[in-house]
Amino acid sequence: MTQTGFCKYCGQAVAIESKKELTKEQLIEEASYECNCDEARAMRKREEAKRVGQDSVQILFGNDMPELATFLKDSVELLTAGFIGKLSIDAGNGTQATLKATAKGTIRVTRIEKEKREME
């Protein structure tokens, strides 16, 4: 079934193929995702940066610090939306987490583990 949706950024009509009938809101979202206007491309780039950033957080923190990973994944959304540029957290056990929006539009995720050994 072919339906027509309109890009929410530029208003361009886009033909949408689907197996079922989509709502007006779904057509707008699909059209906006498939459109080639500058704003739609920028949205796709932000979505990809968000996905990669959240995947990186899961890889670096998900196994041994799941609560911190959940917080950091939520913070990735703030970075991709441009509300914050950098976030640093000291987990209190010698582990530091840093999220940073890069000039290329990606999210850099860093985990630093400081180990201190001392004897008397």
Quick one: 46 and 81 in the same domain?
yes
Mean pLDDT of 26-32: 94
Quick one: 52 and 28 in the same domain?
no
Quick one: 51 and 31 in the same domain?
no
Quick one: 57 and 83 in the same domain?
yes
Quick one: 54 and 19 in the same domain?
no
Total domains in the fold of the chain: 2
- Range(s) of the domain holding residue 65: 42-113
Q: What letter represents residue 61's amino acid?
A: F
Joined tokens for residue 4: 């027509």
| pTM for this prediction | 0.80
Whether pLDDT at 116 is above 90:
no
Per-residue pLDDT band at 48 (split at 50, 70, 90): very high
Mean pLDDT of 54-74: 96
- 3-class DSSP state for residue 87? strand
Whether pLDDT at 117 is above 80:
no
Quick one: 63 and 109 in the same domain?
yes
Mean pLDDT of 70-99: 94
Mean pLDDT of 84-113: 94
Q: What is the DSSP string of 40-82?
A: HHHHHHHHHHHHHHHHHHHHHHTTT-HHHHHHHHHHHHHHHTT
Whether pLDDT at 72 is above 80:
yes
Quick one: 31 and 58 in the same domain?
no
23 belongs to a structural domain: yes
120 belongs to a structural domain: no
Question: What is the pLDDT at residue 7?
Answer: 95
Question: What is the pLDDT at residue 2?
Answer: 93
69 belongs to a structural domain: yes
